[in-house]
Amino acid sequence: MKKRLIPALLAVLLLVPVISLPAEATGTYGSVPVLTGYADVDYQAEQILSEIPLSGKSARDQIQAVYDWIITHCQRNNWDGTLYYDEKAVAAIAPSYENNTKQRIYQGKAVIRREMEPYWGLGDDSYDYYSFDANSSVAYKAREMMLKRTGDCVNYSALFAVLLGHLGYDSHIIPGQFINPNGSKVSHKWNYVLINGTYYWFDIRIDHSYYVRRGSKTIPHQYFMIADTKEWENSHEWDHTYSDLLAANAATVTGLYNQAIQDAAGTPSYEDVDARYGSLFNFWKNNTYLPGQFTDVKSGAWYEENVKDAFEYGLLLGNGDGRFGVGDHLTIAQTLAIADRLHNRYYEGSGLFLQRDPWHQVYVDYAVNYGIMAQGQYDPLATATRAQFAAIMSAALPDEALPAINQITRIPDVHSAASYSEAVYRLYNAGILTGNDEAGTFAPDTPIKREQVAAMATRFANSDLRKTFTLK
Helices (H), 185-274: 204-213, 229-232, 241-248, 250-265
Domain identity same for 302 and 373: yes
Do 217 and 293 lie in a common domain? no
> Could you tell me which residue, 146 or 127, shows the higher pLDDT?
146
Helices of type H across 284-418: 304-312, 332-348, 361-369, 386-394
- Same domain for 239 and 337, yes or no, is no
CA distance 107 to 301: 38
Residue 287 domain boundaries: 279-465
Question: Is the domain of 381 the same as that of 446?
Answer: yes
**Structure letter (DSSP) for residue 295:** T
What does the pLDDT read at residue 130? 54
In a domain, 472, yes or no: no
State pLDDT tens for residues 196-238.
Answer: 999 999 999 999 999 999 887 899 999 999 999 999 999 999 9
Q: How confident is the model at residue 456 (pLDDT cuts 50, 70, 90)?
A: very high
Given a cut of 90, whether residue 45 has pLDDT beyond it is yes
Decide if pLDDT at 95 tops 90: no
Instruction: Please answer whether residues 289 and 315 qualify as being in contact, where contact means their C-beta atoms are separated by less than 8 angstroms.
Output: no
Q: Pairing between strand 185-195 and 198-202?
A: antiparallel
212 and 184 belong to one structural domain: yes
In-domain check, residue 48: yes
CB atoms within 10 A of CB 470: 9
Residue 270 forms part of a structural domain: no
| Domain-located, residue 164 | yes
Over residues 380-410, the pLDDT tens digits come to 999 999 999 999 999 999 998 999 999 999 9
Q: Rounded CA gap, 317 and 339, in Å?
A: 13
| DSSP strand pairing (111-112 vs 34-35) | parallel
Q: Is residue 39 part of a domain?
A: yes
Mean of the pLDDT values across residues 153-166?
97
| Residue 129 falls inside a structural domain | yes
The span from the CA of 45 to the CA of 75, in Å, is 18
Q: How far is CA 299 from CA 293, 294, 295, 308, 456, in A?
A: 11, 10, 10, 11, 20
Which helix (H) or strand (E) element contains residue 132? none
Residues 132, 197 share a domain = yes
Q: Which residue has the higher pLDDT, 352 or 199?
A: 199
Reply yes or no on whether the pLDDT at 427 is more than 90: yes
Identify the domain boundary among 265, 297, 312: 265
Of 394, 398, 425, which Cα lies nearest the Cα of 410?
A: 425
- The verdict on 311 and 231 lying in the same domain is no
d(CA 356, CA 152): 26
**For the whole model, what pTM was predicted?**
0.66
**Mean pLDDT, the chain, integer:** 86
Among residues 233, 265, 297, which one ends one of the domains? 265
pLDDT value at 22 more than 80: no
Percent pLDDT > 70 in the chain is 89
Q: What pLDDT is recorded for position 190?
A: 97
Q: Average pLDDT of 422-434?
A: 97
Residue 422 has pLDDT above 90, yes or no: yes
8: number of Cβ within 10 Å: 19
Cis ω before 53 (30° cut-off from 0): no
364 assigned to some structural domain: yes
DSSP state of 126: S
User: What is the structure's pLDDT at 317?
Assistant: 87
Q: Do residues 374 and 400 both lie within one domain?
A: yes
Average pLDDT over residues 353-372: 86
Closest CA to 162 of 181, 175, 147, 179: 147
Report CA torsion sign: 6, 8, 9, 13.
negative
Domain closes at, from 265, 292, 315: 265
Look at residue 352 and tell me if it is in a domain.
yes
In this structure, are 61 and 195 located in the same domain?
yes
Which residues face 202 on adjacent strands?
A: 191
> Phi and psi for 458 in degrees, rounded to 5?
-70, -25
Q: Which stretch of DSSP H or E encloses residue 144?
A: helix 135-148
How distant, in Å, are the alpha carbons of 37, 92, 144, 226 from that of 49?
A: 17, 21, 17, 23
Residue 245 sits in the same domain as residue 306: no
pLDDT digits (tens, 9 = 90+) for 63-82: 999 999 999 999 999 899 99
Q: What is the pLDDT of residues 312-349, one digit of tens each?
A: 888 998 887 889 999 999 999 999 999 999 988 887 76
In a shared domain, residues 344 and 284 = yes
Whether 137 and 105 share a structural domain: yes
* b/e 287-308 (16+ beta carbons within 10 angstroms → b): eebeeebbebbeeeeebbebbb
Between helix 87-106 and helix 250-265 the angle, nearest 10°, is 90
Short-list 429, 419, 363, 358, CA closest to 396: 363
Indicate the number of domains in the chain.
2
User: pLDDT per residue over 239-295, tens digit each?
Assistant: 999 999 999 999 999 999 998 888 776 654 433 333 323 357 677 777 788 888 999
